[in-house]
Structure 1
Amino acid sequence: MAEIAPLPSRPAAVIFDMDGLMLDSERAILESLRAAAVDHRAEIDPDWWLCLIGHTDAVCRARLRTHIGDSAAAALLDDVHARYVAIAERGLPHRPGIVALLDLLAAHDMPRAVATSTRSPLAQRKLEAAGLLKYFDVVCTSSDVAQPKPAPDVYLLAAERLRVAPSQCLVLEDSPTGVRAALAAGMTAVQVPDLLAPDEEARALGHRIVGSLADAQALIVPWLSTATAE
């Protein structure tokens, strides 16, 4: 693996995506989709669902309607939503390394926010059920902004609520859609891919791509003891 360039400066805040980055929710939603498709006798290739990862509910619904038709998509997605919410409210598994990273940032009083494409109040319920809500100063969702990712709105809102300049924010994301949103906001982005490996188009964005949250933590650690220049 190529060496990852160090961060250019000490971040003044770290902003986290939620699904696929902190919570192992992508697998849960894909299993819900696949199980519902079987029950509804929808003939969909199991790998097709990967094209929905990182997109808003509206985008996912539109793609599924195009794929199988309006009425079939509506019935299937109502079933999926019920299955997935039941799983999420029991508490989704964490992605490896997230608690260690959040504990470290909290110990150094690094401001932290969530910027997610999940709508409110489901986003807060998912974080609470997983035991992660307590780590964050701010939670921003797609319900709070006019345009979802890849527009920068949710990241700009998180920076505003943290009272930190966007250029001083470090973003951790798993999807290319989220990375585009962070870069459009003028932030430093580090991608920690989950189910989807970055393609050439994503790599051309020029951001840092690491193999795990532990690798992302290793980029941050050298700056944690560095006082912000006055």
Structure 2
Amino acid sequence: MLKDKKAVIFDLDGTLVDSMWIWKEIDERFLGHFGLQVPEGLNDLLEGYSFNETAEYFKNHFPLPLTVQEIKDTWNRMAYEMYTNEIPLKEGVIEFLDVLKDKKLPIGIATSNSRELTKACLNAHGIGQYFQYICTSNEVPKGKPAPDVYLKTAQELSVEPEHILVFEDIPYGIMAGNSANMTTCAVRDAYSQAVADKKRELADYYIDTYFDIINGTYQSV
């Protein structure tokens, strides 16, 4: 899988860490505070949205007495404790990062999450030093499935897209990596298990854990 690769880029949520479950809970608590309920299918609708795009959607579609920035600040406060104390790394992450470090491959993160939560999560797990660059979808014109966040990360890592391996957990993220002309590997995640076949269809590889790469048991799809 790593043959001819000169850099690796990871998504964060559902890919490096098992965190996708918290956002439904945060939505319920946040809207519930204002006497509102989470509409059916909201998470699916917002899949791939950047942190800023999601806040703008909430501002435009719910009667909230908050600015977009206040919405983001509230979410960051609510999520910070979970990201630093409750969210585990995906199985085999540290071992695989050590492999990449030994191979001297630059490593980046391209995430739809906020920079604050991303850095807090990485530092809480003691893995922030592995990554040379972090790019959030808030810092590019369009979020996933547009390729912008991946292309920006590749530019900052000074590696051509065709020599980059991307790890993603949801179809929109895989589509973003594909659109950036990068090799994509889908990562198993309970949150997106219902679309596992779609992930296999879109990606070049599929793994249950990062030990699949180390042990050579990954799937070429």
TM-score, length-normalised on structure 1?
A: 0.76
Give 1:57's match in structure 2, choosing from 34, 51, 56: 51
Give 1:213's match in structure 2, choosing from 210, 213, 221: 210
Select between 143-152 and 53-62 the one with higher mean Cα deviation. 53-62
- Identify the residue that residue 95 of structure 1 maps to in structure 2: 90
- Identify the residue that residue 27 of structure 2 maps to in structure 1: 33
Deviation, 1:103, is: 1.5
Cα deviation, 1:121-153, whole Å, max 9, x if unaligned, reads 442233222322111122222243222222111
Q: 1:152 to 1:64 in 2, by over 3 A?
A: same
- Identify the residue that residue 116 of structure 1 maps to in structure 2: 111
> Structure 2 regions of 5+ residues with no counterpart?
none
Count residues with an aligned counterpart.
Answer: 213
What is the identity percentage for the equivalent residue pairs of Structure 1 and Structure 2?
Answer: 27
Residue 181 (structure 1) aligned with residue 173 (structure 2): no
- Identify the residue that residue 44 of structure 1 maps to in structure 2: 38
- Identify the residue that residue 9 of structure 2 maps to in structure 1: 15
Secondary structure in 2 matching 1:139 = strand
Q: 1:77 to 1:135 in 2, by over 3 A?
A: same
> Structure 1 regions of 5+ residues with no counterpart?
1-6, 222-230
Q: 1:217 to 1:31 in 2, by over 3 A?
A: farther
Q: 1:193 to 1:172 in 2, by over 3 A?
A: same
- Paired AA for residue 139 in structure 1: I
CA distance in structure 2 between the partners assigned to 1:35 and 1:116 by the alignment: 23
- Identify the residue that residue 71 of structure 1 maps to in structure 2: 63
- Paired AA for residue 126 in structure 1: C
C-alpha contact (below 8 Å) 1:91/1:130 kept by paired residues: no
Bigger Rg, structure 1 or 2: 1
Q: RMSD of aligned C-alpha atoms? A: 3.2
Deviation, 1:189, is: 0.6
Give 2:137's match in structure 1, choosing from 113, 135, 142: 142
- Identify the residue that residue 155 of structure 2 maps to in structure 1: 160
CA distance in structure 1 between the partners assigned to 2:198 and 2:79 by the alignment: 31
Q: 1:206 to 1:123 in 2, by over 3 A?
A: closer
TM-score, length-normalised on structure 2?
A: 0.78
- Paired AA for residue 63 in structure 2: S
Deviation, 1:205, is: 3.2
- Identify the residue that residue 225 of structure 1 maps to in structure 2: none
CA distance in structure 1 between the partners assigned to 2:85 and 2:184 by the alignment: 31
C-alpha contact (below 8 Å) 1:30/1:49 kept by paired residues: yes
Select between 143-152 and 170-179 the one with higher mean Cα deviation. 143-152
